[in-house]
Structure 1
Amino acid sequence: MWATAGDATSAAGGLGGLVGAAAQAIENLGEWGVGAFTLAETVVPPIPSEVILPLAGYLAKQGSLNLGLIFVTSTLGAYLGALFLYWLGARLGLERSIRGLSKLPLVDREDFEHAAGWFRRHGRSSIFFGRLLPGVRSLISLPAGASSMPLGTFTIFTLAGSALWNGALIGLGYLLGTQYHLIEGYSKYLNYAVYAAIAIAVVLLVVRRVRRAKVSR
């Protein structure tokens, strides 16, 4: 029987700060909530899968979530998010899609251009390998749709790459779940790492936009 968040004492209680809040949210939302997180992260990266999926695997080890189901829902969520961007690229074209999406918070035009360049250089294999690369993973679907890549090919490569990436991160969290007390003791350092990553991402985004504004003057 699949476990649910209510079947066991909260495994997120020993984790504090942003990491603890994320773990608690995942535990409360359950396996389908993990899928919703990966869908949202694929379209507009609010919290990266590098944080969400290891925590989900960790909670699965503690008995709060079902390991197989979080793998299925996270891969399905990643595919649906990628499919939305594929459709957007096919519908609006690459330039119009980039122009619209680059206005979103924490998203920069340069990221889309990097993903488009990766697709031009590597073709359909970029759909598979791009799923393993932060910064490319979420955006590679746009040029695929804009170039009219066959949907069947896109689906196969997307599911394969997403399954490999998600399985690796979930498995890592599951293995770390055997070291519960170690994780509890070092949770504050995990929070420092997450805060630092967020701060660096924001600073880099601001710097790139300021540079672009100076060049366009």
Structure 2
Amino acid sequence: MGNLLGSIILYLVGEKIGLEFLKYYGKYFLIDDSDLDRANRLFMNHGSKIILIGRMLPAIRTVISLPAGLAKMNFKKFSIYTLIGSIPWNLMLIYIGIILKDNWEIILGYSKILDYAMIIVLLLLIFLYYYYKSTGKKGGKNERYRKERKRL
């Protein structure tokens, strides 16, 4: 229930202030209206799957509520899939706790490694996104170059 409550709080933050924040400051993160529209469509079409799978992934499970709130995903669906997606994760943690008993601190080292791996993957994806946005087809250097060549 704590997982659900925390997720609902982040969902509400995304829903209430997230869109205005990104519309104003998004340009500093190379996020424009087309990116927000694309993310909104993605959550409208696949939001349930994204939430369900995202709840079972370290690091991502913590922040997945924000984009769901931004996209104003159906709150009832969000809550149901958050609850369902959190159950396997929490059962796994309970099972590991039962197995490890008083040695439960052993898992902290492994969970940190997994968290760091997910953060590295996320940073890599962010880098690739920035690279694509700055050199890709939409408004990047290549398009400016093509326009310059057309003019000549």
How does the TM-score come out when normalised to structure 1?
0.46
Change (3 A) 1:194 1:97: closer
Change (3 A) 1:207 1:192: same
Match of 1:97 in 2: 22
> Is the 2:4–2:82 contact (alpha carbons within 8 Å) kept by the matching residues of 1?
yes
Deviation digits for residues 120-157 of structure 1, max 9, x if unmatched? 4x2xxx44433213369431322227xxxxxxxx3321
Shift of 1:162: 1.4
Match of 1:168 in 2: 88
Question: How far apart, CA to CA, are the structure 1 residues paired with 2:14 and 2:40?
Answer: 13
CA RMSD of aligned residues (A): 3.5
> Is the 2:68–2:78 contact (alpha carbons within 8 Å) kept by the matching residues of 1?
no
Unaligned runs of 5+ in 2: 55-59, 142-152
Deviation digits for residues 33-92 of structure 1, max 9, x if unmatched? xxxxxxxxxxxxxxxxxxxxxxxxxxxxxxxxxxxxxxx222112112112222346x74
Which one-letter code corresponds to 1:176 in the other structure?
Answer: I
Change (3 A) 1:82 1:164: same
Match of 1:38 in 2: none
Which one-letter code corresponds to 2:86 in the other structure?
Answer: N
Shift of 1:194: 2.5
Q: 1:119 is matched with which residue: 43, 59, 72? A: 43
Q: Does 1:78 align with 2:7?
A: yes
Which one-letter code corresponds to 1:197 in the other structure?
Answer: M
1:176-191 aligned within 5 A: 176-180=96-100, 184-185=105-106, 187-191=108-112
Moved more, 185-194 or 171-180: 185-194
Shift of 1:168: 2.3
Q: 1:203 is matched with which residue: 124, 142, 145? A: 124
Question: How far apart, CA to CA, are the structure 2 residues paired with 1:144 and 1:209?
Answer: 25
Change (3 A) 1:201 1:129: closer
Change (3 A) 1:183 1:98: farther
Deviation digits for residues 168-215 of structure 1, max 9, x if unmatched? 211210111012167555654443333222222212212321232123
Change (3 A) 1:207 1:188: same
Unaligned runs of 5+ in 1: 1-71, 146-153
Change (3 A) 1:113 1:193: farther
Change (3 A) 1:206 1:156: same
When you count helix as a share of all residues, which structure comes out higher? 2
Change (3 A) 1:127 1:212: closer
Which one-letter code corresponds to 2:8 in the other structure?
Answer: Y
> Is the 1:131–1:158 contact (alpha carbons within 8 Å) kept by the matching residues of 2?
yes
